Amino acid sequence: MTTTAHRPAAPEPTTRRPRLAVTIGDPSGIGPELVAKLLADENNRAAADLVVLATEQEIRDAAALSGVHVPVGSGAGPDAVRVVGSEHSGSTVEPGVVSVAGGRRALADLGAALRLHQDGEVDAILFAPLNKAALGQAGMDAHDELRWFADQLGYTGTTSELNLVPGLTTSRVTSHIPVSEVAQHISAGSVAEATRLLHGVLLAQGLPAPRIAVCALNPHAGEGGKFGREEIDHIRPGVELLRSEGIDANGPFPCDTLFIKARRGEYDGVVTMYHDQGQIAMKLMGFEEGVTVQGGLPVPIATPAHGTAYEIVGKGIANTGPMQRAFDVAVSLATDAVH
C-alpha cells in the first residue's frame, strides 16, 4: 500500500494597495498647494496609500491656503495620509522666488523618496513641480532630474523623459541640452534606444502592436540632404534597425506635420529629437493633462509637465489637472509594480 504525503493548500494570493511617495517639489512654487488639493480628495486616498515628504504643519498651511482639509494619521490609508517630514533642515523659503533653500529642500525630499522605495516602503514616486535654476544653485550638476535620479541610483541603462497626454506618448533622443549640441548626440543607436524604450512603455499600457513615428531633425526632413544629413546618416538607419527587430517604427517625418497625424490617432507614440520639438506640440494638445514620466529607471516616477508657476503662488488658482493626471499615472505604475 502506498501513501501520498499530505501537501498543505497553497496560500491564497494576496494583494495590497499601491503605495506612493509624494513630495511638494520646490516649496517656493505651487507644489504645496497642488499636493494639498490632491491629498484632500477622498478618491485619491482610496486609490493608494500616500506617504508625504512634508511636515504636518506644512500640509495644514497649504490646505488652509487652498481651502481644503487633509486628514493626517500615523499610517496611510483611505481615511488619512502619512506625513514623514523632510530631511532638509535649512532655512525657510520665500514663496514665489528662486532660492538655494528651495532647491536644497526639493533635492532632499527626492533623495528621501528614493530611499523609501529602496527600503520597500513605497512602490512609486510622485513629485510636484521643480525649478531647475534652484536645483542648480543647490548643487545639482546633472542636466535634469532624470539624470540626477539615474546618478543617485547608480543606473546606467537607457533613460528618456516620457511625456503623456491622453492617447499619445512621446520619448526624446536628447532632452535638456543646448540646441547647438543636439545634432552631435543623434545616432542610429540613440534613435533606436529611445524608440525601444517608448515601445516597451506602450506595450505596458496595453497596446499589443504600438505604432510609433520618428521625427526628423531638419526642416522638411532634410530634403534629401539639402538641409542636413542627420536623417540620411543616422535617423533613417535607426528606424530601419528597429523595423528589422519587429517594431512598427516609421519615419523620419517632418515634425511640423507629424503631430497633426498623431493627434488624429494615426500613431500611439512619437520619438522626438530634442525637448521643444515634442513639448510644444504636447502642451498645445493637452497642457491640462500633461505628465512626465522618468522613463527607463528602475523606480516608477511621475510629475506634472509644467513648472513652479511662481507668479500665482498663494492665490489659490493653481490648476490641479496635470497634478491629478500625474497622480493617476503614478498610481497605475505603482499598481503594476505591486502585481
Say if CB 216 and CB 251 are below 8 A apart: yes
CATH code, residues 156-295: 3.40.718.10
Q: 156-295: same fold as 16-155+297-339?
A: yes
Question: What phi, psi does 162 have (nearest 5°)?
Answer: -110, 125
Q: What is the pLDDT of residue 6?
A: 42
Q: What is the pTM of this model?
A: 0.87
Q: How many CA atoms lie within 13 A of 310 on its CB side?
A: 14
How far apart CA 69 and CA 274 sit, in angstroms, is: 41
User: Looking at residue 29, what is its pLDDT?
Assistant: 96
User: Cβ distance 127 to 135 under 8 Å?
Assistant: no
Would residue 246 be called left, alpha or beta, if left means φ above 0 and alpha means ψ between -120 and 50 degrees? left
The full set of domain ranges for the chain reads: 16-155+297-339, 156-295
Looking at residue 75, its pLDDT comes to 86
pLDDT of residue 155: 94
pLDDT at 58: 94
- What is the number of H-type helices and E-type strands within the chain? 12, 12
Model pLDDT, residue 38: 97
What is residue 79's predicted lDDT score, i.e. its pLDDT? Answer: 92
Residue pLDDT, tens place only, 123-151: 999 999 999 999 999 999 998 899 999 99
pLDDT given for residue 76 in this prediction: 87
The correct CATH number of 16-155+297-339 out of 3.30.2130.10, 3.40.718.10, 3.40.605.10, 3.40.50.720 is: 3.40.718.10
Q: What does each C-alpha distance from 13 to 9, 49, 121, 339 come to in angstroms?
A: 12, 20, 20, 11
Position 69: which residue type?
Answer: H
pLDDT digit string, tens, across residues 31-64: 999 999 999 999 999 999 999 999 999 999 999 9
Residues of the chain with pLDDT under 50: 1-14
